[in-house]
Amino acid sequence: MEKQSKIFVAGHRGMVGSSIVRKLKAEGYTNLVLRSSSELDLRDQAQVRNFFSAEKPEYVFLAAAKVGGILANNIYRADFLYENLMIESNVIHQSYVHKVKKLLFLGSSCIYPKLAPQPLEEKSLLSGYLEETNEPYAIAKIAGIKLCENYRRQYGCDFISAMPTNLYGPNDNYDLQTSHVIPALLRKFIEAKENNSKSVVVWGTGAPLREFMHVDDLAEACFFLMHHYSENEFVNVGTGKEISIKDLAVLIGKLVGYNGTVEFDTTKPDGTPRKLMNVNRILGLGWKPVISLEAGLKRVIEEKPLKTSI
Ligand code: GFB
């Protein structure tokens, strides 16, 4: 990828895409092709075909997706499956047709079977049943991996895939119904502090273990992989460290300075009991994350995501 290369970042307004754009700009890449979803509907085959024939990007970061937390995945099941399949199929196929030099597809750690051995190794893909709440999203992301693998095998396309762990950072979604746990808890604790509420409600039992990575670490990994990796196998991207949801709630409460109590709403799903990435493959390639969970959360809080006084 040269500084003048034409690079399409699909999903540049989302948390992941916007972080990749910041990284590319910081590295001096100036020829970025960006389209909002109202300008280009990636679910629409004809629009994507016309866009690729008009723009002919040389490199593609495929960060566009319909995403959400545990509840959104479980409620909007058809949308998560259909929209993600369409986006991936259209962008990956047109990247093949228009001879894109390299494409990076972004998946998710939920592609792994619910009870796969932990830490999750890349070889565990398709070795068991998926977690029920996010099966549609996971199936779509597995299809994306397989598109990249098989366009490489059949046509020699340099398409690679990265599987990030649970992410947080700037431009996250703070809607309590559809968000992931970190933005949800940041919002709940910040608002509880401002309103002097006695307690904060955390979904589930608090027992599930999750691994979290700041999205700017992921953008660094994507940039690294785009330069240094061209293999058929996808690559896990994570920190290799996990925390229980209960401990996460305690940490976020401490960081925002909230002194009340925490209640658990066990009518809400826990989801998969544990989701920790084995990151040996990417470590072996020479990349590692640098933002600790506490430092990353402090960064997000300082950015005042809810535009509050805290
Ligand atoms: O982040 P989250 O929605 O995603 O939930 P998953 C993680 C854990 O936090 C679950 C608990 O055990 C939730 O029950 N939790 C506690 C909360 N309080 C809250 C809250 O207020 N909001 C939310 N959202 N969770 C998603 C998948 O799974 O992870 C996606 O559904 C994707 O497909 C994404 O893979 C990265 O880690 O459970």
Q: How far apart are CA 144 and CA 126, in angstroms?
A: 14
Our mutation pick for probing the ligand 1 site, out of 108, 110, 178, 181, counting the most ligand atoms within 8 A of Cβ, is 181
Q: Give the distance (Å) from ligand 1 centre to CA of residue 70.
A: 4
For the CA of 133, the closest atom of ligand 1 is 31
How do residues 56-111 score in pLDDT, each as one tens digit?
999 999 999 999 999 999 999 999 999 999 999 999 999 999 999 999 999 999 99
The separation between CA 131 and the C-alpha centre of its own chain, rounded to angstroms, equals 17
Q: How far apart are CA 168 and CA 293, in angstroms?
A: 10
pLDDT at position 292, please? 98
Per-residue b or e along 53-64, where b marks 16 or more CB atoms closer than 10 Å to that residue's CB: eeeebbbbbbbb
Mean pLDDT of 230-256: 97
Does the pLDDT value for residue 268 go beyond 50? yes
- For ligand 1, atom 25: residue with the closest CA: 181
Q: Give the distance (Å) from ligand 1 centre to CA of residue 84.
A: 19
Beta-sheet pairing, 59-62 with 102-106 = parallel
Active site (catalytic) residues? 137
Q: Domains in the chain, start-ordered, CATH in brackets? A: 7-172+212-240+277-291 (3.40.50.720)
Does the pLDDT value for residue 310 go beyond 60? no
pLDDT at position 308, please? 54
- For ligand 1, atom 17: residue with the closest CA: 181
Ligand 1 within 6 A of CB of 166? yes
Q: Give the distance (Å) from ligand 1 centre to CA of residue 166.
A: 9
pLDDT at position 305, please? 85
Handedness of CA 291, 222, 91, 109 (dihedral sign): negative
